[in-house]
């Protein structure tokens, strides 16, 4: 069954520092911190509207949840916990910083029905973390992951690609360390550079130069394939569509269909590798993919089909669906 979140945004309160990329009011689209009454109203409405609440979690996103004042945090959790249980939502999901997790915090989270904890790791390379004012180290991420795992919570990690002073090698190091940790879920956020941030100023001055969009798509497509093979569910790829982000961004890698672009690249590359080995007069090829991935293999506006025709001397590629083919795999037919 498809999983969904009942999202409640807790803006930038309690966080011990301001990261280079952070303009949290822009990302969450709100500057007002939710009250317990607001949580009650959101959950009550959602419970009446969500078709399968047992497959949904109440999700506190937008800030560092365990860094907010504890009394306030508990008031939100107490209210949300009333909506967890039989015939209600299956649990509570929170996102926080790696250095804001300890055994005491985890006991509180467990008491009030939290089931999933996402850590904003962003990078697993210390010089990148330091250059972007994260205020924690890669070892803090490992430590927090061990504690979360030991207490039986579902573990999620968030990685942000293309940060200031991050190289392609650094991106792959972060990816490999996440594979080693093997969280249950991952979110991949190619960096979006916002106004009124240190990153925005560095970008404007020319000191911060980003990867090309194509370079990031290539890296993310490789990561998606490997995460899938390692049983790690990528639940988000690219920042969610938002008028606030679109109005305040000055650079970076935002696209409303970013994940689809990356998944389409996976199929383009795999089919290209097969076509490159084919010789002879036959210029008509059929490839089977998972039925849910046909549009991704074809590409937006048939971009992949047109690419194959141009790159491989007018060959014609047809994409068909087969339930026996796994996600991201392709099989030549005929």
Domains and CATH numbers, the chain: 4-256 (3.20.20.70), 278-333 (3.30.300)
Q: Are strands 284-289 and 185-190 parallel, antiparallel or unpaired?
A: unpaired
pLDDT in tens, the chain (334 residues): 456 899 998 877 667 778 898 875 555 444 578 999 999 999 999 999 998 899 999 999 877 899 999 999 999 999 999 999 988 999 999 999 999 999 999 999 999 999 999 999 999 999 999 999 999 999 999 999 999 999 999 999 999 999 999 999 999 999 999 999 999 999 999 999 999 899 999 999 999 999 999 999 999 999 999 999 999 999 999 987 765 677 889 999 999 899 999 999 999 999 999 999 987 777 899 999 999 999 999 999 999 999 999 999 889 999 999 999 999 999 999 7
What does the block give as tokens for 44?
A: 């009550």
Query: 87 with 110: CB under 8 angstroms?
Result: no
Beta strands (DSSP E) in the chain are: 4-9, 56-61, 91-96, 114-122, 154-161, 185-190, 192-194, 233-237, 249-252, 284-289, 316-321, 331-333
CA-based radius of gyration for the chain: 22
Residue 49: predicted pLDDT: 92
Task: Note the pTM of the prediction, 2 decimals.
Answer: 0.91
262: left (phi over 0), alpha (psi -120 to 50) or beta: alpha
Cα 98 from chain centroid? 16
> What pLDDT, on the 0 to 100 scale, is given for residue 1?
47
- Residue 44: partners with Cβ closer than 8 Å, 6 or more residues away: 83
């Amino acid at each position: 069954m498809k999983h969904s979140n009942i999202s409640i945004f807790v803006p930038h309160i309690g966080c011990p520092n301001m990261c280079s990329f952070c303009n949290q009011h822009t990302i969450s689209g709100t500057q007002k911190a939710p009250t317990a009454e607001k949580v009650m109203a959101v959950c009550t409405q959602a419970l009446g509207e969500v078709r399968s609440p047992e497959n949904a979690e109440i999700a506190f996103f937008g800030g560092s949840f365990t860094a907010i004042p504890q009394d306030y945090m508990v008031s939100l959790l107490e209210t949300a916990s009333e909506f967890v249980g039989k015939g209600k939502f299956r649990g509570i999901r929170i996102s926080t910083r790696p250095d804001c997790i300890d055994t005491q915090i985890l006991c509180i989270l467990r008491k009030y029905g939290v089931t999933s904890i996402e850590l904003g790791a962003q990078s697993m390379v210390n010089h990148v973390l330091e250059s972007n004012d994260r205020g924690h180290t890669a070892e803090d991420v490992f430590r927090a992951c061990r504690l979360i795992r030991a207490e039986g919570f579902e573990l999620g990690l968030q990685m942000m690609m293309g940060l200031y002073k991050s190289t392609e090698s650094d991106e792959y190091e972060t990816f490999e360390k996440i594979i080693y940790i093997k969280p249950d879920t991952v979110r991949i956020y190619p960096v979006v550079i916002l106004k009124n941030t240190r990153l925005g100023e560095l970008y404007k001055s020319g000191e911060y130069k980003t990867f090309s969009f194509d370079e990031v798509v290539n890296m993310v497509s490789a990561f998606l394939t490997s995460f899938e093979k390692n049983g790690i569910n990528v639940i988000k790829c690219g920042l969610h569509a938002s008028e606030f982000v679109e109005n305040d961004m000055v650079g970076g890698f935002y696209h409303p269909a970013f994940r689809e672009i990356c998944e389409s690249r996976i199929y383009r590359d795999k089919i290209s590798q097969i076509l490159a080995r084919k010789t002879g007069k036959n210029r008509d090829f059929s490839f089977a993919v998972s039925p849910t991935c046909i549009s991704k293999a074809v590409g937006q506006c048939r971009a992949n089909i047109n690419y194959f025709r141009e790159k491989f001397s007018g060959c014609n590629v047809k994409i068909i669906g087969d339930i026996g083919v796994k996600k991201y795999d392709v099989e030549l037919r005929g």
